[in-house]
A = this chain, B = another copy of it.
Amino acid sequence: MATIKDVAKLANVSTATVSRVLNNNGYVNKDTKERVTRAIRQLDYRPNDIARSLFKGKSKMIALFVPDIMNPFFPELARAVEDITNKHNYTFVLCNTDDDLEKEITYLNALQQKSVDGFIIVSSNLKEDYLHNMNAPVVALDRIVSKQLSSVTVNNRESAREATNYLKAIGCKRIAHICGPDYAMNTLERLGGYLDIVKKEKWFLSSYVVSGEYNYEKTIAVTKELLTNHPEIDGIFAANDKMGVGVIKAAEALGVKIPEELAVVGFDGIAMGETTTPSLTTMEQPIYDIGAQAAKLLLEHIHDSNRSIEQVNLKTKLIERDSTRKRR
Chain A residues close to B by CB (< 8 Å): 1, 46-51, 53-54, 59, 68-70, 72, 74-76, 78-79, 82-83, 86, 89, 91-96, 109-115, 135, 245, 249, 252, 271-272, 275-277
The closest CB in chain B to the CB of A64 belongs to B94
| Contact (Cβ within 8 A) B53 A82 | no
The closest CB in chain B to the CB of A107 belongs to B86
A50-B53, A75-B75, A276-B277 known; A111+B135 contact, CB < 8 A = no
Q: Which residues of B contact A1 (CB under 8 A)?
A: 135
Report Cα–Cα, A96/B81, bound state, in Å.
11
Report Cα–Cα, A76/B47, bound state, in Å.
34
A114-B50, A115-B50, A275-B249 known; A82+B70 contact, CB < 8 A = no
Q: Which residues of B contact A47 (CB under 8 A)?
A: 113
Report Cα–Cα, A277/B279, bound state, in Å.
10
Copies in the complex: 2
A275-B272, A277-B252 known; A49+B114 contact, CB < 8 A = yes
Q: Which residues of B contact A135 (CB under 8 A)?
A: 1
| Contact (Cβ within 8 A) A82 B54 | no
| Contact (Cβ within 8 A) B76 A91 | no
A1-B135, A135-B1, A276-B276 known; A46+B112 contact, CB < 8 A = yes
Least CB distance, A43 to chain B, in whole angstroms: 14
Report Cα–Cα, A76/B115, bound state, in Å.
28
Least CB distance, A217 to chain B, in whole angstroms: 10
Least CB distance, A281 to chain B, in whole angstroms: 15
Report Cα–Cα, A115/B271, bound state, in Å.
37
The closest CB in chain B to the CB of A82 belongs to B96
Which of A49, A79, A86 neighbours the largest number of chain B CB atoms within 10 Å of its CB?
A: A49
Report Cα–Cα, A252/B276, bound state, in Å.
11
The closest CB in chain B to the CB of A59 belongs to B50
The closest CB in chain B to the CB of A279 belongs to B249
| Contact (Cβ within 8 A) B59 A68 | no
Interface CB pairs A-B, < 8 A, 18: A1-B135, A46-B113, A49-B113, A50-B53, A50-B115, A69-B75, A69-B78, A78-B94, A82-B96, A83-B96, A86-B96, A92-B93, A92-B95, A252-B277, A271-B272, A272-B275, A275-B276, A276-B276
